[in-house]
Amino acid sequence: MNWIQLTTLDQLQEIKAATGYSAIFKHSTRCSISMMARKRFEIDWSAITAGTPLYFLDLIAYREVSNTIAEIFHVHHESPQLLLIKDGECIYETSHGEISAEDMADQIAP
């Protein structure tokens, strides 16, 4: 799996319009908790269905994108934060130490 850098509002609109699943990982480059959550997620991301787009947002560098995520997916801003989007709607959201690739994969599994 590889991260897709999330840097534009146009990308958010593409995620909102997409069918199927996408994930957004919001990361603060200034936060050690965020760094730990990212590392733990990456260690276990083989649990996630291949082909699931995984978007990575540096919320310090792209604050407007982060704010827009909260608006269009109706979630409270957290950092770090993981959102699972299905058919344009956020169906699963978690943050901080609760972030888990395996838990997210369970949401996708039939």
Beta carbons within 10 angstroms of residue 89's beta carbon: 11
Report the candidate in 64, 47, 46, 65 with the shortest Cα–Cα distance to residue 56.
Answer: 65
For 14-72, how does the pLDDT look when each residue is reduced to its tens digit (9 = 90+)?
A: 999 999 999 999 999 899 999 999 999 999 999 999 999 999 999 999 999 999 999 99
Helices vs strands, H then E, count in the chain: 4, 5
Is there a contact between 78 and 19 (Cβ–Cβ < 8 Å)? no
pLDDT at 109: 79
Q: Sheet containing 54-58: which strands, arranged edge to edge? A: 3-5, 54-58, 21-27, 81-86, 89-95
For 81-103, how does the pLDDT look when each residue is reduced to its tens digit (9 = 90+)?
A: 999 999 999 999 999 999 999 99
Q: H/E element holding 43?
A: helix 32-44
